[in-house]
Chains A and B, each alone.
Chain A
Amino acid sequence: MKEHLLSIENLKVNFKTYGGEVQAVRGVTFHVEKGETVAIVGESGCGKSVTAQAIMGLIPNPPGRIVDGKVVFEGTEISKLPKKELLGIRGTQIGMVFQDPMTALNPTMKVGAQIVEGFVRSQKVSREEAKKRAIEMLRLVGIPDPEQRVDQYPHQFSGGMRQRVVIAIALACNPKLVIADEPTTALDVTIQAQILDLLKQLQEEQELAVVIITHDLGVVAEIAHRMVVMYAGMVVETGTVEEVFANPRHPYTWGLMRSLPRLDESEKQRLVPIEGAPPDLFNPPAGCAFAARCDFAMEICKQQMPPTTTFGEGHEAVCWLHDERAPRIDELVAAGRQDS
């Protein structure tokens, strides 16, 4: 079997709360190849950020813990590494870009020092070299006058500029993989366009692998090669972006795509929402978690977890409708469209 850059196998993460134990991630499996961009898509509470934290070894324990499964990075099971060894990988081999650039930066430290913090620790370089590296990184992420900017503090930067600094921090040690958790959600659209272009350009130039977590299917279509759709702590569909957008196989993916208005719709169409709300993960349903909101749910969906069906080229969906005994989907879809 070919070795993936990163593979996550049957990952399960629970959090203890006053109300009981929440099963935030319930058996997630996917992988990332060298130099590719994988998007994890889903709504708030679906476990996408917890999955990212688990990759980085950032699950706060207590209350959280990895109950089962493993994270393998370049053949090493990093979910089992002692903290000290994990530190050698985190920040140097794997970089992280957080959602909110306002809170991800230390307000009392010059941005230059923040950019090279990990670099200095891992490479034991002189001050001058470190500063040179910081300026180089600022230039790489497109910040004008990096020589002056390197000695400034985060409050002297705008939101978009701060996010560039956060990206510079993630890239300072030439990582092989960057995990970006909603990197553009806090930004305005014109700034989002700048940051997406930057990520794409860096990814191509540096042969980076990127895991981008987002709820915006527009961002996915723009930047990712493959996508992983999550719902209620599980993966419901994965595949190449082209394949999933052209032939979505899971009713939740259909629902997500139909509930979006499109800027290029010529005639006004009524939006088709997914009725109801996601299930309670204190006590997740025995069968498919989406069954309660699914237009096509059958009896078995409520009782038993569906198997994974493969459609070729790594396109997989976890849904009973693809069982050979199930009624044919196109008939159900045709009937469903008439209703709506």
Chain B
Amino acid sequence: MSDVLLEVRDLKKHFSMSSDFVLKAVDGVSFSIRKGETLGLVGESGCGKSTLGRTLIRLYENTDGEVLYKGKNVHQLRGKEVNQFNRDVQMIFQAPQASLNPRMTVEDIVAEGLDIHGLGRGKRRERVAELLELVGLHKDHAQRYPHEFSGGQRQRIGIARALAVEPEFIIADEPISALDVSIQAQVVNLLEDLQQERGLTYLFIAHDLSMVKHISNRIGVMYLGKMVEMAPSGELYAEPLHPYTRALLSSVPVPDPTIKRERIVLQGDLPSPANKPSGCGFRTRCPLAVPRCAEAEPMWKQAKPDHWVACHLLDM
């Protein structure tokens, strides 16, 4: 397909923790991201969603498998191609207080990418002013330091920095989870406006399912380093196929006291990724597990058009 921007094929990222222990943070994930869409990635802490995001953009080397960005293997880019890739792809981080250098002025933070890629010559100040206004800040803010801003404003600075080099693809890793509810909506609306104006593609990583559903065209659900389901967001909500997705959706408290739902409360905790169950990773908490789930890993396959899932129950 021509509209695929990024393709991931059986990607693995393992960390050697000691001589006899390998942590399989991402363990064989395949999917693609289309140009101009927002792909949401959800899962509980430790499921590998952030590691996946970071491996996609070369912040981590891959252990196995490949990531193709516009058809090129990103882990084998060399020389100028690396520079171009680093411009095309940008990241917005979770904690706006930790991801902005407290000793740099906002102007220097936002312009760092311009300086590195040699884009700002002669018009650095105007570019920064333009970017600050684009994200809803004032150009007079350029000479201030990060501590002078509120959390929501700092996240806007992080967004301005990401946009400075005119990227095509942005990975937003929990960009709003550190913000208050009334401020979250401001930042999400800003991200949506920027996407419309600039045709950006987003990978939106978060654990807040309602917000992910709101912003994403499609959603991938991860569990213990694997993708267990991926579908258009409306369909994932209306007809989840994987038992984990169903439990996850039913766990989200709905802000409406008149709705009394049957909740699927999962027993137990997420197993340690160091000591994964055999077969399907979810079987230890799955209310529907059968003997086969312990014997073999379920295949990742298309159950319906554009709706992928990995579960043995669908073969029966």
Residues in chain A within 8 A of chain B (CB atoms): 43-44, 158-161, 188-194, 196-197, 215-222, 241-242, 245-246, 255-257, 259-266, 268, 270-275, 277
Contact = CB atoms under 8 A, between A and B. Distances in A.
A275 B265 contact: no
Given A43-B181, A261-B210, A265-B214, A219 B258 contact: no
A221 B254 contact: yes
B44 A193 contact: no
A257 B252 contact: no
Contacts of B181: 43, 215, 217, 256, 259-260
A75 B263 CA distance: 40
Interface string B231-254: 000100100000000011111111
B185 A257 contact: no
Contacts of B153: 277
Interface of B: 44-45, 150, 152-153, 180-186, 188-189, 192, 207, 209-211, 213-215, 234, 237, 247-259, 263, 265-266, 269-270
Given A197-B265, A263-B213, A263-B249, A221 B257 contact: yes
Nearest to B267: A194
Contact of B263 (A188, A193, A270): A193
Given A43-B182, A271-B189, A262 B269 contact: no
A272 B207 contact: no
B210 A192 contact: no
Given A263-B237, A273-B189, A220 B182 contact: no
Nearest to A224: B257
A295 to B, nearest CB: 13
Given A190-B247, A261-B213, A273-B182, A219 B253 contact: yes
A157 B250 CA distance: 25
Contacts of A193: 250-251, 253, 263, 265-266
Contacts of B180: 43-44, 215
Contacts of A241: 257
Contact of A190 (B185, B186, B248, B254): B248
A189 B189 contact: no
A259 B210 CA distance: 12
Contacts of B253: 192-193, 196, 216, 218-219, 221-222
A302 B185 CA distance: 25
Contacts of B258: 242, 245-246
12 contacts: A158-B269, A161-B269, A189-B251, A190-B44, A190-B251, A193-B263, A194-B265, A245-B256, A256-B181, A259-B181, A261-B213, A271-B189
A250 B311 CA distance: 47
Given A189-B248, A192-B251, A275 B257 contact: no
A259 B213 contact: no
B189 A188 contact: no
Contacts of B207: 188-189
Contacts of B215: 261
A268 B214 contact: yes
A189 B209 contact: yes
A277 B183 contact: yes
Given A189-B248, A193-B251, A277 B188 contact: no
A271 B214 contact: yes
Contacts of B269: 158-161, 191
A263 B256 CA distance: 11
Q: Which of the listed residues A161, A191, A215, A275 has the most CB atoms from chain B within 10 Å of its own CB? A: A191
Given A221-B253, A261-B210, A268-B214, 19 more contacts: A158-B270, A159-B269, A188-B44, A189-B252, A218-B253, A221-B254, A241-B257, A245-B256, A256-B181, A259-B184, A262-B210, A262-B254, A263-B213, A263-B249, A264-B254, A273-B185, A273-B186, A274-B182, A277-B153
A245 B182 contact: no
Nearest to A221: B257
Nearest to A188: B44
Contacts of B188: 261, 271
Nearest to A158: B269
Nearest to B42: A189
B255 A262 contact: yes
Given A261-B211, A261-B213, A263-B213, A277 B152 contact: yes
Nearest to A270: B189
A292 B237 CA distance: 38
Contacts of B255: 217-218, 220-221, 245, 257, 260, 262
Contacts of A194: 265-266
Q: Which of the listed residues A44, A197, A273 has the most CB atoms from chain B within 10 Å of its own CB? A: A273
B273 to A, nearest CB: 13
Contact of A273 (B183, B213, B257, B270): B183
Contacts of B237: 263-264
B195 to A, nearest CB: 13
Closest 10 CB pairs of A and B: A218-B253, A261-B214, A273-B185, A217-B255, A259-B185, A274-B182, A188-B44, A193-B251, A271-B185, A43-B180
